[in-house]
Every structure is written in C-alpha cells, then in structure tokens.
C-alpha cells in the first residue's frame, strides 16, 4: 500500500466530483480544483481534455447505467471534437488556456447539457 492513489482511483474521484457538481451537490470551484492538476490557475489542453472525457463518461453512464464507462481510447475522437467546438467559445481571450473566469461559461454549458440528457431519459 502506497501513499498515492492509482490512476483508476483518481479517475473515479474526478467522476465523483463532476457528478456532484452536475447534481447540484458541489460548486464550480471544486471542479476547477479537481481538474487543475498542477494548480497553475489555468486549465491547459490536457486538463481540459481530461475534464471533457470525464463529462462524457458521466453522460454515457447516465444514458446507459448498465454498461461500464467507456475508455479514454474509445472516447478520444469525441473528446477531440468537443474540444475543437468548445475551446474557442470558452477560451475567450484566445491564449490557449482557460482561466477560472472563462471556466464559468463551461460550467453553465455542462449543467445545461446534463439537464437535457436527464429530460431525454425521462421520455423513454
């Protein structure tokens, strides 16, 4: 037993923190702290990609709770597509990283998309 968590443990914690935010049990700052791994006050591309991947995993689980969350490899094309669509809208100053102020827009987007998904689920 070491003092550091495994990659799987970290991914599970990431999912739990993000799921809590989506279910109004956690605030945006908690997500920011969870995904800003190097504490440099900005999300770089890798950190943003990890957040997108985690969000997609949660959305997939919400849609199909009987299946395990998809792997990073399987989700990579979707992460890339989402990043290419969202980064220009979130990174409003175009500096290639996302500040907490810019991140607020992404938090609103995530909540809206999650609400849409939940409403769709109730229709079936």
Q: What pLDDT digit, counting tens, does each position of 19-76 carry?
A: 999 999 999 999 999 999 999 999 999 999 999 999 999 999 998 999 998 999 999 9
CA distance 109 to 122: 20
Q: Are 63 and 117 in contact (CB under 8 A)?
A: yes
- Contact at 8 Å (CB) between 83 and 48? yes
Secondary structure (3-state) at 99: strand
- Section 95-103 average pLDDT: 97
Closest CA to 35 of 3, 21, 25: 21
Domain ranges of the chain: 31-123
Q: What is the pTM of this model?
A: 0.88
pLDDT digits (tens, 9 = 90+) for 76-91: 999 999 999 999 999 9
- Tokens read off for 83: 């990043």
pLDDT of residue 2: 43
* Structure confidence at residue 124 (pLDDT): 46
Q: Which CATH class is domain 31-123?
A: mainly alpha
């Amino acid at each position: 037993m070491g003092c550091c968590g495994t990659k799987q443990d970290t991914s599970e914690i990431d999912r739990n923190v993000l799921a809590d935010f989506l279910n109004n049990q956690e605030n945006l700052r908690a997500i920011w702290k969870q995904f800003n791994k190097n504490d440099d006050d900005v999300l770089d591309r890798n950190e943003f990609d990890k957040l997108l991947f985690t969000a997609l995993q949660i959305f997939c689980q919400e849609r199909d709770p009987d299946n395990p969350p998809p792997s990073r490899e399987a989700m990579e094309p979707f992460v890339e597509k989402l990043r290419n669509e969202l980064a220009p809208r979130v990174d409003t100053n175009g500096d290639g990283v996302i500040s907490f102020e810019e991140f607020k827009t992404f938090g609103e987007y995530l909540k809206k998309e999650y609400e849409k998904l939940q409403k769709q689920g109730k229709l079936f």
